[in-house]
Structure 1
Amino acid sequence: KGIIQGYYPSWVSYNHNLKDLNPNLNVVHMSFAKMDLSYDSIESIVGSPLLFKSLIGLEYIGLNEYFNDAMNLRKARPDIIMLLSLGGETYHPSSFDSALNAVEKIANLVDELGFDGIDVDYEPNGSFDGLNDKEKADFFVQYVTKLREYMCDDKLISISQSSNGALSCIGFNDPKKICMDDEAPYNSKYFNKPDVKKELLRAAQMASAGGAIYLMNNLKDMIDMVFVQTFNYTNSTDSTVMKELYDSYAYYGKKYDYVIIMGFTLMFPSTPFNPNDKMLVKSIGDFVKTENKLNKRADGFGLWSLSSDNAAHNEQLAIEYFV
């Protein structure tokens, strides 16, 4: 049927119980923590909120409530896969070295929380700009590789990428081939075809295009899941390109054996990939489920972000439409 995933960032309003999340959710990405976090113990962090905020980055007033809620979810829903989410727009590291030096502590924190693994959101400048910088890409590969070395074999690693990250970039010269893959179906030759969708072509011309290709081809089977963040393409005029965006990532998912989650945003009212558009969600859902059946996979549907007072769309309806 496919996995259903949801982000629960630290900045959403604390006004509910996590244990009451939709029963169809399989995976929850918990908070955004810095990739270079430092701590002595959970007790010391919870007892020092200001220290917690500066070192890990949780923008939370009720830190004790946040952790209590996470632990209650762990007890109430042992079936849910809980991942500690690192990086992203707010939580990029202060330096590469500080992040690499923090890996062992991060692995320990996952164990101490009783979580099932890590998600790393690749937004090196605190945005989707600069994704195709080789120095930053090499750091990300090194960082995730080191995480894999310190994590127990039964722990999962997810990476979060931009919507067009698996489309070969055609909008600028790429002599190092960091954002191109001639063997992939959505390569530069594909975009020379006259019948290519206009909005898909535009996605391949964006600066973020191909930003996941180098990472996936180097990390290979070290990762278990890729969350595709479609909210970097909120100005698209053709929602049907979501199928091709999924298909571009599914090629790597099948090649390296990891799950692809197509993300919808609940936060932007004018998104073309509207999670409350029943026909769109069902269309994408049916496409993904058909591919799952044909290829014995578990690709699925994701939401950013859960349980926020600022959400422009209804998360329960979105999940219902996919199911």
Structure 2
Amino acid sequence: MKKYLSVYGKILSSKTKLYNFLKTSTATGLLLLTVLSSCKKTGNEKFQSDSQSANSKVNLAVLETNPNVSLTKPITIGYYPSWTEGWLNEDGKSPFTTLPTTVTHVFLAFGKPNLKYVKGSYNITTANTGLECYSSPDGGLMLKRAVGILKQRGISVILSLGGETYWRTQENFDNINYQQIKDLVDDIGFAGIDWDFEPNGSFSESGNAVNVARLTKYITESRKLMPKSAGYIIATAPAGAGALGGLNNDDTASPFAYSKRNTVTGESDSYLYSATDGTKSISLFGFSATGAMIPVIKAAGDKLDIIAYQAYNTGAAPNRKLMYDSYAYYANTYGFKLAHGTHVPNEPWGPYFEHTPQFEADLAKYIHDGGSQKRAGKNDGIMIWNLSLLSAKGTNYTGITYLNVANKVLNGQTTSAALASAFDYAGQSPTIPTTPTNPTPPANPTNPSTGGCGIAAYNATKAYPTVGTKVFYNRKIYKNKWYVNPNQVPEAEQWGPWEFVQNCTN
């Protein structure tokens, strides 16, 4: 719960002891504390509550208490695609449950925003929830067990809602039952939810008035049912350039306002719309999604615990730290944590930027030191898409390895030491998924290694960079519509990179 005190207000010394007692007491105490905190010095200086307009919040000093202990250390978040998880063994081990504790939070991807769930049913079939793991009528019991194992090991699992696929139909925008989302969170033991809001499958329209209002509502309504005081985490994963000032959404008070773009970058507007140029960073101010999160943060920033912005698929700009600093400016006012989103090579768009292990280490050091907004010690961190990906750059780095490096640096190791011990998981042995499937009993889909119809079998360990490459999978032929990363399995995503060509029975 956040409590706001007027910057100009002053707690009278005679009330200090009572104030300190109530500060650590119950909800009733918090209410009284709010009253005490609003004492006037003059008739013109009054307490400003968190129900006032967002613009007034910049004049407030924020005191935050959040009982979720997972946010009291540097955060390292990894997306875990539910379709890469198989069944649990009798001993409870799977690639999911053996994730090392160098990962502090997992975004389990993806649930439908308009998911249907009956409390106590444990029916998490894809048709009902969108999740693509343990897909049987009572598969929720297995997921509850898996999430419980990770929780016992100190890893918080957060249900990620939406993603690129599930925001492509109108019913997902408006037919949202927040109570059923909460019921699923409570039954499975999720730590909270992540609103991965990509309207119509991208961020290009995320900053228009309709979508700003939608995301604001999703955050606000879910927070009402899942309060901070009860330990629930509410996160969102917006565009990386979402807090930089843009043409459509701007904040003139921010040091990263659109009008200050040339000063901030030291560059002219010649490359403002040259997102594929790897020598200039001003293009970060030129995206349609630039500034999209500014109005959302002003309206509902105090209700968020984490903003894990997607600082990938944002062109070739070399100065990625601008994205951290721009979000950090607002984090200092509204109190949420930050996780800078990175991507196991290759990024699907382009790729124009490579997240190397050295980049990951250097970025973690910058965040550890607090950046230009002086956030050292605020427990910001790194997010990655995704934990099960294997680097396409000829290394054996996975998303898990990248987060291991980041975690070490965020907790004080030097970048060189962290890189040298990238595969040291402190005695833990993660199971790296290499051929993910979405099994349903009694057997997995067939995927003969010999291929079929003269087409080579799909290989989950390799990338498919050439558009139009055909593969054989599950007695069918598919071809890729764009660059395909390892582990992007045909049939796993309704709107994914693979296009059905024909059935193949020989």
> TM-score, structure 1 length as denominator?
0.85
Residues 295 and 166 from structure 1, CA distance in 2 versus in 1: closer, same or farther, beyond 3 angstroms? same
> Is it true that 1:6 corresponds to 2:78 in the alignment?
yes
Counterpart Cα distance in 2 of 1:149 and 1:256: 17
Look up the equivalent residue of 2:84 and give its one-letter code.
V
The Cα offsets for residues 225-259 of structure 1, whole Å up to 9 and x where unpaired, read as: 001112221x31x43x1111111111111110111
Counterpart Cα distance in 1 of 2:114 and 2:183: 13
- Out of 402, 427, 433, the position equivalent to 1:318 is 402
C-alpha RMSD of the superposition? 2.7
Counterpart Cα distance in 1 of 2:324 and 2:141: 34
Counterpart Cα distance in 1 of 2:131 and 2:332: 35
Residues 11 and 94 from structure 1, CA distance in 2 versus in 1: closer, same or farther, beyond 3 angstroms? farther
Counterpart Cα distance in 2 of 1:33 and 1:76: 19
> Is it true that 1:53 corresponds to 2:126 in the alignment?
yes
5 Å-filtered alignment, 1:4-83, equals 4-12=76-84, 14=86, 16-41=94-119, 43=121, 45-46=123-124, 52-60=125-133, 62=135, 68=142, 71-78=145-152, 79-83=154-158
What residue is the counterpart of 2:27 in the other structure?
A: none
Across the two proteins, how many residue pairs are aligned to each other? 305
Residues 200 and 310 from structure 1, CA distance in 2 versus in 1: closer, same or farther, beyond 3 angstroms? closer
- Out of 277, 291, 310, the position equivalent to 1:229 is 310
CA contact (8 A) 1:83 1:118 kept: yes
- Out of 233, 246, 250, the position equivalent to 2:324 is 246
Counterpart Cα distance in 1 of 2:122 and 2:185: 16
> Is it true that 1:196 corresponds to 2:270 in the alignment?
no
Shift of 1:191: 1.2
> Is it true that 1:283 corresponds to 2:362 in the alignment?
yes
CA contact (8 A) 2:123 2:140 kept: no
Look up the equivalent residue of 2:185 and give its one-letter code.
V
The secondary structure found in structure 2 opposite 1:279 is helix
The Cα offsets for residues 248-298 of structure 1, whole Å up to 9 and x where unpaired, read as: 1111111101111011112626755544x2321121111100118854301
Shift of 1:76: 4.5
Look up the equivalent residue of 2:290 and give its one-letter code.
A
The Cα offsets for residues 105-127 of structure 1, whole Å up to 9 and x where unpaired, read as: 10111111111111001212121
The secondary structure found in structure 2 opposite 1:32 is strand
CA contact (8 A) 1:19 1:77 kept: no
Which of 1 and 2 has greater Rg?
2
Residues 139 and 73 from structure 1, CA distance in 2 versus in 1: closer, same or farther, beyond 3 angstroms? closer
Can you give the 5+ residue segments of structure 2 that lack an aligned partner in the other structure? 1-72, 88-93, 272-279, 409-506
Look up the equivalent residue of 2:338 and give its one-letter code.
I
What residue is the counterpart of 1:212 in the other structure?
A: 293
The Cα offsets for residues 179-224 of structure 1, whole Å up to 9 and x where unpaired, read as: 1111111102211337138533112111111111111111021000
CA contact (8 A) 1:6 1:303 kept: yes
CA contact (8 A) 2:194 2:236 kept: yes
The secondary structure found in structure 1 opposite 2:108 is strand
The Cα offsets for residues 42-100 of structure 1, whole Å up to 9 and x where unpaired, read as: 64624xxxxx323322344755778625622422542112111111211226334312x
Look up the equivalent residue of 2:364 and give its one-letter code.
G
> Is it true that 1:149 corresponds to 2:224 in the alignment?
yes
5 Å-filtered alignment, 1:249-288, equals 249-266=327-344, 268=346, 271=351, 273-275=353-355, 277-288=356-367
The secondary structure found in structure 1 opposite 2:200 is coil
Residues 200 and 265 from structure 1, CA distance in 2 versus in 1: closer, same or farther, beyond 3 angstroms? same
Counterpart Cα distance in 2 of 1:33 and 1:7: 12
The secondary structure found in structure 2 opposite 1:264 is strand
CA contact (8 A) 2:82 2:110 kept: yes
Counterpart Cα distance in 2 of 1:309 and 1:69: 24
CA contact (8 A) 1:33 1:84 kept: yes
Counterpart Cα distance in 2 of 1:228 and 1:315: 17
Residues 73 and 38 from structure 1, CA distance in 2 versus in 1: closer, same or farther, beyond 3 angstroms? closer
Counterpart Cα distance in 2 of 1:248 and 1:283: 18
Identity %: 26
Look up the equivalent residue of 1:4 and give its one-letter code.
T
Residues 67 and 134 from structure 1, CA distance in 2 versus in 1: closer, same or farther, beyond 3 angstroms? farther
- Out of 160, 164, 170, the position equivalent to 1:94 is 170
The secondary structure found in structure 2 opposite 1:40 is coil
Look up the equivalent residue of 1:214 and give its one-letter code.
P
Worse-matched range after superposition: 15-24 or 218-227: 15-24
Shift of 1:131: 1.0
Counterpart Cα distance in 1 of 2:144 and 2:260: 45
Counterpart Cα distance in 2 of 1:316 and 1:227: 17
Residues 232 and 76 from structure 1, CA distance in 2 versus in 1: closer, same or farther, beyond 3 angstroms? closer
Worse-matched range after superposition: 266-275 or 148-157: 266-275
Higher relative contact order (CA 8 A, sep 6+): 1
Higher helix share: 1
Residues 215 and 17 from structure 1, CA distance in 2 versus in 1: closer, same or farther, beyond 3 angstroms? same
What residue is the counterpart of 1:112 in the other structure?
A: 187
The Cα offsets for residues 129-160 of structure 1, whole Å up to 9 and x where unpaired, read as: 21111012112111211101111432010011
Shift of 1:162: 0.8
Residues 80 and 139 from structure 1, CA distance in 2 versus in 1: closer, same or farther, beyond 3 angstroms? same
